[in-house]
Amino acid sequence: MPLENRINSDPNAVRNTYHTPMSTTVKKPAGGGESASLGVCMRRVAKHRDKDAFAKLFDHYAPQLRAYSLAHEPGAGLVADELVQEVMIRVWLKAGKYNAGLSSLNTWIFTLARNCRIDHLRRNKRYVTTIDPADIFNDIEDENPGPFQQAQISRIEENIHAGLKELPRGQAEVLTKVYLEGKSHRQASVELELPLGTVKSRVRLALKKLEVLLTR
Amino acid sequence: MTTANHSSPDNHPPDELLIGYSAGSLPLSQALCISAHLEHCNTCQRKLQRLNLVGSALMQQLQPSPTSARLKSSILDQLDNLIEEQTPPPSGTDSSVPRCLRQFIRGGYHNLNWKRVSKDISRIELCRDNNGARVELLKIRPGGAVATHTHLGDEYTVVLEGSFSDEKGLYQRGDFLRRDHNDRHTPVATHDRECICLAVSEGPIQLTGFFSRLLNPFIRRTHAG
Ligand SMILES: [Zn+2]
């Protein structure tokens, strides 16, 4: 989709950014100021072990994390509380490892939540394998020099937030199945009663619209 | 670390697998292969970063679910008593082994208990996944060939050392391949050195070469066990 269309169709767009067509800072994802102050909290937790700052992070992220867990296991309140606890404790312990140059705080929290979910599934014997997910996911994301600069990351992030609002319902639905409910394409196709090919192509179309996958 | 820039798109995991990796829905054996590839490939790392941004954005769009004050205070009360578990890297770990595989390979590849399965090939099983997939290392001697085979399930391969070629192309360190039951292939290691691959196979392989056909019942049995 041409960028121009997207800007015009967004009633909340800040009009005075039009003179820089490459600029995609049309609309900040929910509260740009808020995310900046969360970044400050994060630094205070890392540097000063500041519990008040940690409490602010908790207030912001815990309800999101709880919702993420409930999307996967509806009604499982205890599991959701456990995920909140696991993730927030990792935030406290790993604060020093968080590198704002590699990912936004939101994305870092998402990957922690995803890793905790995988770990939880494994510990609860739905996975009986000896493969340790910590070795698969953690190192790569924490330690590798990020190929993207912070500015690029926030630009892509803003594109994604804006794009998600305009996704056709069918595409948004499959993305939700895949990312939030943790379903494979095949499981999504069974639950949505859609052919596997349709699920795959909707996911691809959605990710192309969000400019996450490039059109070949 | 080398980057897999020499590679054609076929030497990278398909998007569907990177999406599953990002979303956390991939079987762990497949995630191992993706992780081993990512260490070598900036292109896929970048794609993964973008995919993680999608997951993060979707999580932020969920209707927040309020947490109890008790949960918050119980977590805050724990903070002072938390000590991060420091797991020192196991001594003697070979830095050429991808990090995700160091849980199975303590020393280098050469300290492993390789089992010879043919004139050209040795293997060692690292573990099994829940879906029954077998995670193993294959070592092909320089110039050695793997018997022509097809797959009853999918097979995922990442080149860890050396290089090999098959009907479709040349694969070097870090390259990722997926073969399914439609593919019939004959991997051959290049002549200069031995080739070590991480291989994940989800069903018994079917050898189609004349002599190796005799081995088929054996292979089926080992997979079932
Ligand atoms: Zn790649």
CATH number, residue A23: 1.10.1740.10
Tell me, yes or no, whether A190 and A141 share the same domain. Answer: no
Last residue of a domain, one of A119, A147, A175: A147
DSSP-assigned letter for residue B88: P
Longest pairwise C-alpha distance within chain B? 70
Of A171-175, B21-25, B37-41, B131-135, least confident by mean pLDDT is B131-135
Of A56-70, B14-28, B138-152, least confident by mean pLDDT is B138-152
pTM over 0.80: yes
State the pLDDT confidence band at A214, using cuts at 50, 70 and 90.
Answer: confident
Tell me, yes or no, whether A121 and A62 share the same domain. Answer: yes
Cβ distance of B23 and A114 shorter than 8 Å: yes
Cβ distance of A182 and B64 shorter than 8 Å: no
Question: What ipTM does the predicted assembly reach?
Answer: 0.81
Q: Which of residues 108-127 of A touch B (CB under 8 A)?
A: 109-111, 113-115, 117-118, 122, 126-127
pLDDT in tens, B150-159: 666 788 999 9
pLDDT at residue B171, rounded to an integer: 94
For residues A144-170, give the mean pLDDT.
81
Cβ distance of B66 and A67 shorter than 8 Å: no
**B189 contacts B144 by C-beta, under 8 angstroms:** yes
Q: Does B76 touch chain A (CB under 8 A)?
A: yes
For residues A71-79, give the mean pLDDT.
94
State the pLDDT confidence band at B213, using cuts at 50, 70 and 90.
Answer: very low
State the pLDDT confidence band at B183, using cuts at 50, 70 and 90.
Answer: confident
For residues A4-26, give the mean pLDDT.
37
pLDDT in tens, B53-63: 999 999 999 99
Q: Does A39 touch chain B (CB under 8 A)?
A: no
**Number of folded domains in chain A?**
2
Q: Which of residues 30-69 of B touch A (CB under 8 A)?
A: 31-32, 35, 38-39, 42, 45-47, 49-68
The answer to whether position A157 is within a domain reads: no
pLDDT in tens, A45-54: 999 999 999 9
Mean pLDDT of chain B: 82
Closest CB from A55, A94, A136 relative to B28: A136
Q: How many Cα atoms are found within 13 Å in the side-chain-facing hemisphere of A110? A: 25
State the pLDDT confidence band at A207, using cuts at 50, 70 and 90.
Answer: very high
**A185 contacts B16 by C-beta, under 8 angstroms:** yes
pLDDT at residue B52, rounded to an integer: 93
Over 80: is that where the pLDDT of B77 sits?
Answer: yes
Mean pLDDT of chain A: 80
| B25/A71 Cα distance (integer angstroms) | 14
| B9/A75 Cα distance (integer angstroms) | 42
Q: How many Cα atoms are found within 13 Å in the side-chain-facing hemisphere of A109? A: 28
Select the more confidently predicted residue: B123 or A99: B123
pLDDT at residue A4, rounded to an integer: 37
For residues B27-41, give the mean pLDDT.
93
Tell me, yes or no, whether A67 and A127 share the same domain. Answer: yes
Ligand 1 centroid – CA B88 distance (Å) = 29
pLDDT at residue A30, rounded to an integer: 47
Ligand 1 centroid – CA B9 distance (Å) = 8
Over 60: is that where the pLDDT of B79 sits?
Answer: yes
For residues A87-92, give the mean pLDDT.
95
Tell me, yes or no, whether A90 and A20 share the same domain. Answer: yes
The answer to whether position A159 is within a domain reads: no
Tell me, yes or no, whether A104 and A181 share the same domain. Answer: no
pLDDT at residue B207, rounded to an integer: 54
Cβ distance of B130 and A183 shorter than 8 Å: no
Tell me, yes or no, whether A141 and A175 share the same domain. Answer: no
CATH number reported for the structural domain that contains residue A187 in this entry:
1.10.10.10
State the pLDDT confidence band at A2, using cuts at 50, 70 and 90.
Answer: very low
Q: Which residues of A touch B72 (CB under 8 A)?
A: 55, 58-59, 62
pLDDT at residue B122, rounded to an integer: 92
Residue labelled with tokens 């494994």: A122
The answer to whether position A160 is within a domain reads: no
Which residue in A has a C-alpha nearest to residue B50's C-alpha?
A: A212
Query: Which site among B52, B80, B158 would you substitute to test the A interface, given the most A Cβ atoms closer than 10 Å to its Cβ?
Result: B52
The answer to whether position A29 is within a domain reads: yes
The answer to whether position A27 is within a domain reads: yes
Tell me, yes or no, whether A35 and A132 share the same domain. Answer: yes
State the pLDDT confidence band at A27, using cuts at 50, 70 and 90.
Answer: very low
For residues B162-180, give the mean pLDDT.
90
| B179/B151 Cα distance (integer angstroms) | 7
| B183/A10 Cα distance (integer angstroms) | 47
Provide the 3-class DSSP secondary structure of residue A123: helix
Cβ distance of A64 and B62 shorter than 8 Å: yes
The answer to whether position A152 is within a domain reads: no
Looking at chain A, the whole-number percentage of residues with pLDDT higher than 70 is 75
Which residue range forms the structural domain that includes residue A216? 167-216
Tell me, yes or no, whether A203 and A119 share the same domain. Answer: no
Domains contained in chain B, CATH given = 9-60+94-225 (2.60.120.10)
**Where do the DSSP E strands lie in chain B?**
115-116, 121-128, 134-140, 149-151, 155-161, 164-166, 169-171, 176-179, 184-185, 188-189, 195-201, 205-207
Select the more confidently predicted residue: B51 or B204: B51
The answer to whether position A47 is within a domain reads: yes
Over 90: is that where the pLDDT of B37 sits?
Answer: yes
| A73/A212 Cα distance (integer angstroms) | 27
**B105 contacts B112 by C-beta, under 8 angstroms:** yes
Tell me, yes or no, whether A84 and A118 share the same domain. Answer: yes
For residues B174-184, give the mean pLDDT.
83
Over 90: is that where the pLDDT of B224 sits?
Answer: no
Looking at chain B, the whole-number percentage of residues with pLDDT higher than 90 is 48
Q: Which of residues 12-31 of A touch B (CB under 8 A)?
A: 29-30
The answer to whether position A66 is within a domain reads: yes
Cβ neighbours for A96, distance < 8 A, ≥ 6 positions apart: A46
Tell me, yes or no, whether A36 and A137 share the same domain. Answer: yes
Tell me, yes or no, whether A114 and A183 share the same domain. Answer: no
Ligand 1 centroid – CA B214 distance (Å) = 37
Over 60: is that where the pLDDT of A69 sits?
Answer: yes
Minimal Cα–Cα distance from A9 to chain B, Å? 20
Last residue of a domain, one of A88, A117, A147: A147
| B145/B119 Cα distance (integer angstroms) | 9
pLDDT at residue A21, rounded to an integer: 36
pLDDT at residue A73, rounded to an integer: 93
Last residue of a domain, one of A94, A112, A147: A147
* Class of residue A143 by CB neighbours under 10 A (exposed 0-12, middle 13-18, buried 19+): exposed
Compute the count of residue pairs across chains A and B with CB atoms less than 8 Å apart.
197
Select the more confidently predicted residue: B219 or B26: B26
Tell me, yes or no, whether A113 and A204 share the same domain. Answer: no
Select the more confidently predicted residue: B179 or B171: B171
